[in-house]
Chains A and B, each alone.
Chain A
């Protein structure tokens, strides 16, 4: 479809071979790093540390992929056109939902095979699995017994997780495969179908990410709770996904793909989203902190009390400056957002900070008395991310790298930031 003079030919729609090769290399690197992480866990760090690091890495990757899914849903519900040119890149990440689900399987297996007679290390991770922990609460938190019975137990937990995965699998598949189908049919109704479904799917997604985050991360400390948890994870996920998107866009262009299609204005917009979600993440994180700090109720303050002693205070301060203050000032200027190397720098910075955020959430549950060495968690997180990105690139290589017959592609190609 011609649009203000930009014509796309067959070559423009195909992924260059060098990029596909890079995808393979990333996939390999991902496997290697994961194996290194697991090996380190078994030999040096210990199984319990390995499990917590695994969950950190899962949280890191899961928020990115889910961030991609909600980004995609938002594009459709807003009927936005600016991102149509890069949507296929975003979709490639979302398409990896089954791979993400696969990464959860070891965890689920560990939970499924655990029992009070033969407890395994997972009992030290999800303490509510352990019946003696549950009965220990009976005097001090009588009303919570119902919760252990009705919600925080092995059976329902597994059913719920499977449920979330089913929902996420179908959501991801619907929106990515319909988009690809439109490449052949050019059917305008496909766009309509995706727009119409995206609206009711957003509340469903919101509940899914909330409860997945609650089950996987908040239940690591069964006595603690926060109603803003789902929103917090969404904020971090959206932010990190936009960073990954920016880096992927640059990678594609570096290998010669999408050179006519992606303009500086697209980077500018992705940069704006990164900036906006730095602010949004900071707002949510601060709200959570301020309310709990101000009321100082013993049952809630444990979360922050753990994270302001024994070395964890340095991680907290790192988040304040590294996840909020410094990137806020750094991404303020539009020149930064339009300058690819600068944007790449901030994208990598924020991904590192997102890892620190997930580390800060998960690891104090492993050891609140000192900050453990992060190498296992880093290896696993990098490994998982590499796996996902590598697989995404490889999977995208078999399809058009641009939504060539999307009715709004023309607007996207001609799009000019004010």
Chain B
């Protein structure tokens, strides 16, 4: 495979004369001596000699990493692993702090019963960030320590450089080494078994950067400040404009909101609410009352009814007893004497529990005041409550309320009727219990 650059018949290689054409003002100076070797073992042996001779500014060029050449050249171990370790620990710390701060401090929310700061759940991301930062640092630090990218290097002028990235090996000893002496170096390298050598020249000074680059650089730097300026402006000023909202989704819907006054509706109906009140006389389903006495225990004039609007028979009383035992006996007791289990408990608490335990006992139905109440009023008490007692309208349907009232009347009668008014059979029935 021939060298890519063809040789001319001149005293000096063409590329050197070309250089002199272009860089009129720069001087070419000797950069290095390069010697070629054709096997890795030959190269390593030569490297040992160069190392032992005491050179410092030198290197070997190999198309692949040659194992053992680090010792042959006396290359010290790189600090790269320590840099990577630092980066890895940083990555792990960032992962931990990120997850702790975002999930436990800044935006804590309950999810799947996990604690806000769930260390086991945070491990995967901590691990990934450790690896990510370590890996990027390994590559970045390697390039930085190798001073790469470096698109210009005098070695690229070597006519056989292409071979050194393919199948040949070389040693480069730079002229700036304090032990450098051209003849001695060439002799040393030849003696070590090189198959040829070459001298390299390089300009004394690097060509200056064209002025355009300065301008472009300054412009680019200024341009990067523009977005930052916008951000600063946005951060510290207020604006009345609505924010830019590209993807609308279903964010701004053309609808009336329930609790927000709306002018359009106000102008149409006079009521700005989106949820209008029902019209006068609207009756909700299930709320039509045909028989006022049955439903309210009152007649048209608002007086309590004094007779039952339902048929009072044994079945009604049984139903009333059952319902009474469920709903009423806890406070009023099974006999309607006002000493149900709640009363017993509350009285005990009031006696022994201490401060603030005021208890008004439930009514005793044999109280003359209650005996005197018309059934309509009793019905109203069951449905709507009285004093501390809450109404049971929601739990007890209308028919059952009348059943309870009938049973209450029965209880009252049972406890207030004089014994003398009983027949003999009734007295015997009571006595035998």
Residues on A lying within 8 angstroms of B by beta carbon are 286, 289-290, 293-294, 296, 332, 416, 418
Instruction: Note all chain B residues with C-beta closer than 8 A to A418.
Output: 67
B105 CB to closest chain A CB, in angstroms? Answer: 22
Cβ of B67 and Cβ of A289 under 8 Å apart?
no
Q: Which residue of B lies closest to A296 (CB)?
A: B113
Whole-angstrom CA separation of A332 from B123 in the bound complex: 20
Instruction: Note all chain A residues with C-beta closer than 8 A to B120.
Output: 286, 289-290, 293-294
Instruction: Note all chain B residues with C-beta closer than 8 A to A296.
Output: 113
Residues on B lying within 8 angstroms of A by beta carbon are 67, 85, 113-114, 120-121, 123
Whole-angstrom CA separation of A125 from B120 in the bound complex: 32
Whole-angstrom CA separation of A100 from B275 in the bound complex: 83
Cβ of A294 and Cβ of B123 under 8 Å apart?
no
Instruction: Note all chain B residues with C-beta closer than 8 A to A332.
Output: 85
Cβ of B123 and Cβ of A286 under 8 Å apart?
yes
Whole-angstrom CA separation of A294 from B114 in the bound complex: 8
Cβ of A294 and Cβ of B67 under 8 Å apart?
no
Whole-angstrom CA separation of A416 from B67 in the bound complex: 10
A-B contact pairs, 11 of them (CB 8 A): A286-B120, A286-B123, A289-B120, A290-B120, A290-B121, A290-B123, A293-B120, A294-B121, A296-B113, A416-B67, A418-B67
Q: Which residue of A lies closest to B88 (CB)?
A: A332
A320 CB to closest chain B CB, in angstroms? Answer: 10
Instruction: Note all chain A residues with C-beta closer than 8 A to B85.
Output: 332
A259 CB to closest chain B CB, in angstroms? Answer: 23
Q: Which residue of A lies closest to B81 (CB)?
A: A333
Whole-angstrom CA separation of A290 from B114 in the bound complex: 12
B88 CB to closest chain A CB, in angstroms? Answer: 10
Whole-angstrom CA separation of A290 from B121 in the bound complex: 7
Give the top 6 A-B pairs by smallest Cβ distance, nearest first: A290-B120, A293-B120, A418-B67, A289-B120, A286-B123, A294-B121
Whole-angstrom CA separation of A293 from B123 in the bound complex: 13
A264 CB to closest chain B CB, in angstroms? Answer: 14
* Count, A-B residue pairs, CB within 8 A: 14
Instruction: Note all chain A residues with C-beta closer than 8 A to B114.
Output: 294
Whole-angstrom CA separation of A298 from B427 in the bound complex: 65
Q: Which residue of A lies closest to B113 (CB)?
A: A296
Whole-angstrom CA separation of A290 from B124 in the bound complex: 10
Q: Which residue of B lies closest to A333 (CB)?
A: B81
Whole-angstrom CA separation of A370 from B73 in the bound complex: 62
Q: Which residue of B lies closest to A335 (CB)?
A: B77
Whole-angstrom CA separation of A293 from B121 in the bound complex: 9
Q: Which residue of A lies closest to B124 (CB)?
A: A290
A288 CB to closest chain B CB, in angstroms? Answer: 11
Q: Which residue of A lies closest to B114 (CB)?
A: A294
Whole-angstrom CA separation of A160 from B270 in the bound complex: 88
Instruction: Note all chain A residues with C-beta closer than 8 A to B113.
Output: 296
Whole-angstrom CA separation of A332 from B121 in the bound complex: 25
Whole-angstrom CA separation of A266 from B58 in the bound complex: 33
A300 CB to closest chain B CB, in angstroms? Answer: 15
Q: Which residue of A lies closest to B112 (CB)?
A: A294
Q: Which residue of A lies closest to B89 (CB)?
A: A329
* Beyond known contacts A290-B121, A332-B85: 8 more, CB 8 A cutoff: A286-B120, A286-B123, A290-B120, A293-B120, A294-B120, A296-B113, A416-B67, A418-B67
A305 CB to closest chain B CB, in angstroms? Answer: 14
A290 CB to closest chain B CB, in angstroms? Answer: 5
Q: Which residue of A lies closest to B70 (CB)?
A: A418
Q: Which residue of A lies closest to B82 (CB)?
A: A333
Whole-angstrom CA separation of A290 from B125 in the bound complex: 13
* Residue among B85, B113, B120 with most chain A CB within 10 A: B120
Whole-angstrom CA separation of A387 from B120 in the bound complex: 40
Whole-angstrom CA separation of A293 from B118 in the bound complex: 11
Q: Which residue of B lies closest to A418 (CB)?
A: B67
Whole-angstrom CA separation of A384 from B121 in the bound complex: 39
Instruction: Note all chain A residues with C-beta closer than 8 A to B67.
Output: 416, 418
A69 CB to closest chain B CB, in angstroms? Answer: 32
B2 CB to closest chain A CB, in angstroms? Answer: 36
B210 CB to closest chain A CB, in angstroms? Answer: 45
Q: Which residue of A lies closest to B121 (CB)?
A: A294
Instruction: Note all chain A residues with C-beta closer than 8 A to B123.
Output: 286, 290
Whole-angstrom CA separation of A50 from B321 in the bound complex: 69
A110 CB to closest chain B CB, in angstroms? Answer: 38
Whole-angstrom CA separation of A361 from B312 in the bound complex: 75
A403 CB to closest chain B CB, in angstroms? Answer: 26
Whole-angstrom CA separation of A71 from B120 in the bound complex: 31
Instruction: Note all chain B residues with C-beta closer than 8 A to A286.
Output: 120, 123
Whole-angstrom CA separation of A294 from B123 in the bound complex: 13
Whole-angstrom CA separation of A286 from B121 in the bound complex: 11
Instruction: Note all chain B residues with C-beta closer than 8 A to A289.
Output: 120
A173 CB to closest chain B CB, in angstroms? Answer: 40
Whole-angstrom CA separation of A286 from B119 in the bound complex: 12
A284 CB to closest chain B CB, in angstroms? Answer: 14
B258 CB to closest chain A CB, in angstroms? Answer: 40
A338 CB to closest chain B CB, in angstroms? Answer: 12
Whole-angstrom CA separation of A43 from B121 in the bound complex: 46
Q: Which residue of A lies closest to B85 (CB)?
A: A332
A200 CB to closest chain B CB, in angstroms? Answer: 35
Q: Which residue of B lies closest to A334 (CB)?
A: B81
Whole-angstrom CA separation of A289 from B120 in the bound complex: 8
Whole-angstrom CA separation of A332 from B134 in the bound complex: 14
Whole-angstrom CA separation of A418 from B67 in the bound complex: 7
B198 CB to closest chain A CB, in angstroms? Answer: 32
A335 CB to closest chain B CB, in angstroms? Answer: 10
B182 CB to closest chain A CB, in angstroms? Answer: 36
Whole-angstrom CA separation of A393 from B120 in the bound complex: 43
Q: Which residue of B lies closest to A295 (CB)?
A: B112
Q: Which residue of B lies closest to A332 (CB)?
A: B85
Whole-angstrom CA separation of A290 from B126 in the bound complex: 14
Whole-angstrom CA separation of A418 from B114 in the bound complex: 46
Whole-angstrom CA separation of A293 from B120 in the bound complex: 8
Whole-angstrom CA separation of A418 from B70 in the bound complex: 10
Whole-angstrom CA separation of A290 from B123 in the bound complex: 9
Whole-angstrom CA separation of A332 from B85 in the bound complex: 10
Q: Which residue of B lies closest to A290 (CB)?
A: B120
Whole-angstrom CA separation of A293 from B67 in the bound complex: 48
B134 CB to closest chain A CB, in angstroms? Answer: 12
B225 CB to closest chain A CB, in angstroms? Answer: 43
Whole-angstrom CA separation of A307 from B103 in the bound complex: 27
Q: Which residue of A lies closest to B68 (CB)?
A: A416
Instruction: Note all chain B residues with C-beta closer than 8 A to A290.
Output: 120-121, 123
A67 CB to closest chain B CB, in angstroms? Answer: 26
Whole-angstrom CA separation of A286 from B67 in the bound complex: 38
B342 CB to closest chain A CB, in angstroms? Answer: 38
A81 CB to closest chain B CB, in angstroms? Answer: 16
Whole-angstrom CA separation of A332 from B114 in the bound complex: 33
A235 CB to closest chain B CB, in angstroms? Answer: 17
A13 CB to closest chain B CB, in angstroms? Answer: 30
A298 CB to closest chain B CB, in angstroms? Answer: 13
Whole-angstrom CA separation of A296 from B120 in the bound complex: 13
Whole-angstrom CA separation of A418 from B71 in the bound complex: 11
Whole-angstrom CA separation of A332 from B86 in the bound complex: 13
Whole-angstrom CA separation of A296 from B113 in the bound complex: 10
